[in-house]
Amino acid sequence: MPFTQRRIAKAAVATSVAALAFAACVTASSAAPKEDSLSARPGPDGTTFWDVYEQPPETAKPGDIYWIQPRSDAPRGARGWNVVYVSEIQPGVKKYVSGEIYVPTTRSDAPRDMVLWNHETTGLADSCAPSRRSLGEDRVPAIRDLLGQGRVVTMSDYPGQALPGPSHYMAGQVNARASLDVLRAVRNLPELNASNRFVEYGWSQGGQTTMHVESIARTYAPEFEGLGAALIAPAVRIRELTGNSMQHPELAGYVISTLPGIKAAYPHLRYGDFLTAEAMEQLPVLADGCFDIWDSASTLRDPYQPGAMSPDGPWWKALTAVDDFRPAGTMPFAVYQGSADTTTPVELTARERTALCQAGSSVDYHEFDGLDHESVVPEAAARFPGWAADRFAGEAAPSNCPQN
């Protein structure tokens, strides 16, 4: 989703951050101790790990592992790997997708439960994908606490990020399938001793993925038992969010960034039906840095065609199709929302809370006065590990759903 102005100000350093991440990944394989080796095929050192241009064979199954690469930046007391695996991103369509897996180094005789992280907007260029960047202190909120609880923590880059091919940014179910399939990849590494139980959480774009995962988990991946899900400033319904962003010139870069992901899911769409010629000249900028488009498109005077969001137009229909899902009511939810969030406003998150409650989920909603799209994340990170631990322990999920 579009970032706050403070985050946009950080965009100028995004490229240098990515460059540092490359260095970390390039040295990861050679620096990793032998005990980091797993039974899966080892991939090459460095960034060539992500140069996977072939397609999965017809016999491939979702979760099959193409290869893995040890990381050197796992938190203390843990090991980590990059992984390339098979995902059935749409019915009958299989692609290779990349992701990450982290596991504690401490011994566990019992199977380890899994925590699935669904990441936020990172930029469309392959170099911006999470697995190509250093883990750092806060790229994955609360990961150290979750590993400290003995969990396996895993995450997908989503289709087309990091690997060749179009990014499916904000394409909803496509990314949810990839997230569920990284759980299958973990289970295909018997050395990790992972259970079939998981709790998931996601921020911004990852909130959309998280809700789609809950919606399809029992039908797409019935072998797993989802015990709970948490939303951090969730950006869920892309049609309304796009329409809202079109009213703010400074968010033109976000709107332009959204279109390739929707077109990847619906290839018949044409950019010229949505963007003016002036705005279409911005499309190549998406390959330059992670957030350059936010700055370069902010000065556009007339970026959208008059009928770009016409209810009978192709883009409106495609965005509506992405949004056409309902919560299954299969998991309890925790929701963390800032009252000052203008990226995903309170009123939009309130609608998702209502939908979850109506579906039968317990919803523990937390609204933080004065916090915005970014500043709410540390609050969520402080609370989520305890909430997740209670779900794994079988404690009754708290709920403050409004009474009818």
Mean pLDDT of the chain: 90
Mean pLDDT on 207-215: 98
Residue among 400, 382, 394 at smallest CA distance from 144 = 382
Query: What is the band of 137 on the pLDDT scale with cuts at 50, 70, 90?
Result: confident
Domain ranges of the chain: 5-237+323-392
The string of pLDDT tens digits covering residues 278-315 is 999 999 998 878 889 988 998 899 999 999 999 999 99
| Cα distance from N-terminal residue to C-terminal residue, the chain | 32
Looking at residue 217, its pLDDT comes to 98
Tell me the C-alpha distance between 201 and 284, whole Å: 32
Looking at residue 152, its pLDDT comes to 98
The string of pLDDT tens digits covering residues 32-66 is 334 457 899 999 999 999 999 999 999 999 999 99
Tell me the C-alpha distance between 291 and 21, whole Å: 16
The string of pLDDT tens digits covering residues 11-24 is 333 433 444 444 44
Please determine, for residue 237, whether its predicted confidence score (pLDDT) is greater than 70.
yes
Looking at residue 63, its pLDDT comes to 98
Looking at residue 207, its pLDDT comes to 97
Looking at residue 160, its pLDDT comes to 93
Residue among 85, 87, 83, 84 at smallest CA distance from 173 = 87
> What superfamily in CATH does domain 5-237+323-392 come from?
Alpha/Beta hydrolase fold, catalytic domain (3.40.50.1820)
Instruction: List Cα–Cα distances, 200 to 103, 122, 152, in angstroms.
Output: 16, 19, 12
Mean pLDDT is lowest, of 149-153, 244-248, 367-371, 379-383, for 244-248
Looking at residue 32, its pLDDT comes to 33
Query: What is the band of 343 on the pLDDT scale with cuts at 50, 70, 90?
Result: confident
- The region, left, alpha or beta by phi > 0 then psi within -120 to 50, assigned to residue 92 is left
Looking at residue 17, its pLDDT comes to 43
Percent of the chain exceeding pLDDT 90 equals: 81
Mean pLDDT on 243-268: 92
pTM exceeding the 0.85 threshold for the entire prediction? yes
Q: What does the CA dihedral 147, 73, 42, 63 come to, rounded to 10 degrees? A: 40
Looking at residue 36, its pLDDT comes to 55
The string of pLDDT tens digits covering residues 309-341 is 999 999 999 999 999 999 999 999 999 999 999
The string of pLDDT tens digits covering residues 242-253 is 998 898 888 899
